[in-house]
Structure formats: structure tokens, C-alpha cells
Amino acid sequence: MGEYKTPGIYIEEIEIGGRPIEGVSTSVAAFIGVTEKGDEYENRPTLITSWSEFVSKFGRYLQTEETLSDEEENRKNEILNMSASVYGFFQNGGKRCYIVKVPDITQSSIVGTDGGPGKRTGLYSLEEVDEVSIIVTPGITDNSIQTQIIAHCEKMKDRIAVLDIPEESGKTDAVDFVKNLSSDKGYAAVYYPWIKVPVEREEKLGGDTEEKIVLEERFIPPSGYVAGVYARTDAERGVHKAPANETLLGVTELKFKITNNDQENLNENNVNCIRSFPGRGVRVWGARTIASNELWRYVNVRRLFMFIEESIEEGIQWVVFEPNDKALWDRVKQSISSFLITLWKNGALMGSTPEEAFFVKCDETTMTPDDIDNGRLVCEVGIAPVRPAEFVIIKIAQLTASAKQ
């Protein structure tokens, strides 16, 4: 309080009630893989906001007349998977992504090393980028690498892995592949099959005086395109909407055609299918994580909780070191409740009233005297997330004259 020495009226601004919580971004992807150029960016997460910026820094898929060894051909395909996936991310609605260029796709390069702040490589380097919410490693289907990616997402708790299945895997192989992956709380989702898309290829042939850009249709892993659908759905509907029954823009063909009968087994085993429908195009036709716990079965539920948890964490940083008394508890409760009411009004939570959609408790029932003595403020939040209508059942009966009586 200031000093008052001159008689008069003094106006002071004070804070009462909670502070507003702003929702965090949920649509920033991170791509890990090899690129045509950009050695100066190696193992440095680099923000990209457009396809042209990616080309400028990391190059396209390059075609030359040189005869390539098997190793060189494999690397060319790895570059193709990476560049085409980033292109598909932006084409399908993505706006921002980080590129982590690595020297090769071995486990040691993709996962990287944890050398401490500023010295982390590969996947570890993304621990320093809080903005990332989607992890993509296009075409990387090695089980040990994917397991490490899932572990990274579970550790960070603010991102989900979008994973691929090997290109030539049949439907039974796809189910067996996913059975070898696990995440109890659903920090990963798998998509199948591979997709054929037009790929921008930089052509440098002997008779040409300058480089040409041509389109070549190739099969690529779907993860980058699906990540773009995540971003588009978040922007148009919100993170609570399942990123399914959404068109995959730019896809001309699927590696395998999937029927309703095929999808029964695939869906039951948490393989998200990509399907082609006459007159409706190619669509993402699955919204499941690989979670064994049914509470985290759906991608949108997992991502909604990630969004709420991180938004609250960042939105109540002002609470730290404030006097831990009832006035503070009430302000925290008000801040979180106001944020959740907005989500409920936007359709992210179940219930016809806020009381049915969530609860927030921050009082003597959530904290013991020992908690308070040791500087702990404990707030309990419960929410009822909206789950997707995965199976729509319409029951139709024949109305007869006798039934009318």
C-alpha cells in the first residue's frame, strides 16, 4: 500500500478473482528424418511455416541420371518420404511444424542422445520445444524406434505420435504390427495403408541447363498427411473433434483397398484405416489410439486432455509463491472453471449443464495441513469428454396396419 500524505481521493488497481486461461496450440507437428540439403540445421529443431520455406532450407526429392547403389536408392526414398510428408502436412491444413534433420534413419540418429541443454540430438532435441504436439517420423517402422517415440510422448505428456506401418504389410500383418506397440494412456495412433500422391521432384538431367520441377506419383507413408488433418480439424472444429471422416487432400490411390469386413478386425485392433468412398474421396476412417485402457481409446479424448492439462499448467503459473490461503484457492478454482465453461460451451465436454460437464475442487478437502505446511496447493479437476459416434445405429421397423392399432 502506498503512502497517503495529501488529503484527497486515490485510485488504485487491484486484482480480484481468477485470471483467464488461454488455450495452447495443439496443431504444431515435428518431423524427424533425412532431407536433400540443410546440413547446417542438422539436429536443430527448425520452425517451418510453409512448403516453400521447407524447400528453401531442406530441398526437395531429387532425381538425377546417376546410377545409384542400393544404399543410395534407399536414402533417396527416405528423402522422398520426408519431403512428401511435409508437403502433405501443409496441403491438408497444417500451418507450423518443426523439422529435425538427422544424418540417417538408424535408431541412434532418430532417437538421438541427451547431452543436456543445447546438446540434445534427434528425438531428444524436441524436449526443448514445448510447442510441439504431434510427432511424425515418416516411413520409420522399426519397432524399437517407434517404442522410443511413444516413450518420449508419454514422458512429455503434451504430444502424440502418428505412426506408420510398413508399406507392403497386408491386413493381417498390420494387426500383428500394432500388437507389438503399446501405450496404456494412448499417446500414439497408427494409420494404414500407404497412400499414392503427386510428389514434387527436382529433376536434374544431363541435357538440361537448369533444374525442372515435375510431379511424380509415388506411394508414401500416410503419417504426414494425417498430421495435416489433425491441424485442420483443430482449426475448423476444435481439438475435441475426432480427426476422422475427414478428406485426405491430394491422395490419388491407396496401396490396399479396405472393405467393411477388412476393417472389422483392423479397427478392433486399433489400426486406423484410410479408405476410398465413391463420391466422397479418400478419408481417414478411424480415430483410435493404441491404448489398452478404454478410457484413452480415442485420439480426440487423448488430445483434449493434453490440451486442457497444458493450458491449465501454463495459465496458472502466476499462482506459484502466492500466499497459500482460501483467497488463492478460490481464485484458482475460478480461473480453471471459467476455462472449462468455455470448452463446454464450445461442445468439448458432455453434459447439459456445467455441473454435469466438469468439477473443480480446491479447498480443505483436497489439501491436508501437511500439504499446506509443505507448500503444496492441490486442486482436483474432473471432466467428461465428448467421445466420437464411432458406430451409428439406425433401427428401422416396418409399420403395418395392425401395428398402428
**43 neighbors 121 (Cβ within 8 angstroms):** yes
Cα 273 versus chain centre, distance: 17
Q: Whole-angstrom Cα distance, residue 273 to residue 262?
A: 10
- Pairing, β 195-204 against β 188-192: unpaired
pLDDT tens, position by position, 42-99: 999 999 999 999 999 999 877 655 666 778 888 989 999 999 999 999 999 999 999 9
Other CB atoms within a 10 A radius of the CB of residue 35 amount to 24
Q: Whole-angstrom Cα distance, residue 191 to residue 181?
A: 13
Q: Whole-angstrom Cα distance, residue 79 to residue 209?
A: 24
The reported pLDDT for the residue numbered 67 is 62
Other CB atoms within a 10 A radius of the CB of residue 202 amount to 17
pLDDT at 205 over 80: no
Number of residues assigned to the chain:
405
Residue 246's H or E segment, with its range, is strand 246-247
- 177's CB contacts (< 8 A; 6+ apart) are 141, 165, 166, 169, 190
- 309's CB contacts (< 8 A; 6+ apart) are 157, 158
**32 neighbors 121 (Cβ within 8 angstroms):** no
Nearest to 347 by CA among 240, 229, 206: 240
pTM: 0.92
Q: Whole-angstrom Cα distance, residue 315 to residue 184?
A: 27
Q: For the residues 4-15, what does the mean pLDDT come to?
A: 83
The reported pLDDT for the residue numbered 208 is 58
Other CB atoms within a 10 A radius of the CB of residue 90 amount to 21
**282 neighbors 194 (Cβ within 8 angstroms):** no
Which domains are present in the chain?
29-302 (3.40.50.11780), 322-405 (no CATH)
Q: Taking each helix axis from N to C terminus, what angle separates 70-91 and 51-58, rounded to the nearest 10 degrees?
A: 150
Question: Which amino acid would we find at residue 81?
Answer: N
Q: Whole-angstrom Cα distance, residue 259 to residue 202?
A: 36
pLDDT tens, position by position, 358-396: 999 999 999 999 999 999 999 999 999 999 987 888 888
For cell 534407399, what's the residue?
A: 74
Q: Whole-angstrom Cα distance, residue 225 to residue 139?
A: 12
Q: For the residues 131-141, what does the mean pLDDT come to?
A: 97
Q: Whole-angstrom Cα distance, residue 162 to residue 28?
A: 13
pLDDT tens, position by position, 229-253: 999 999 999 999 999 999 999 999 9
> Coil, helix or strand for 128?
helix
Q: How far is CA 236 from CA 25, 27, 138, 198, 310, in A?
A: 13, 12, 25, 26, 21
Q: What is the SS3 string spanning 72-124?
A: HHHHHHHHHHHHHHHHHHHHCCCCCEEEEECCCCCHHHHHCCCCCCCCCCHHH
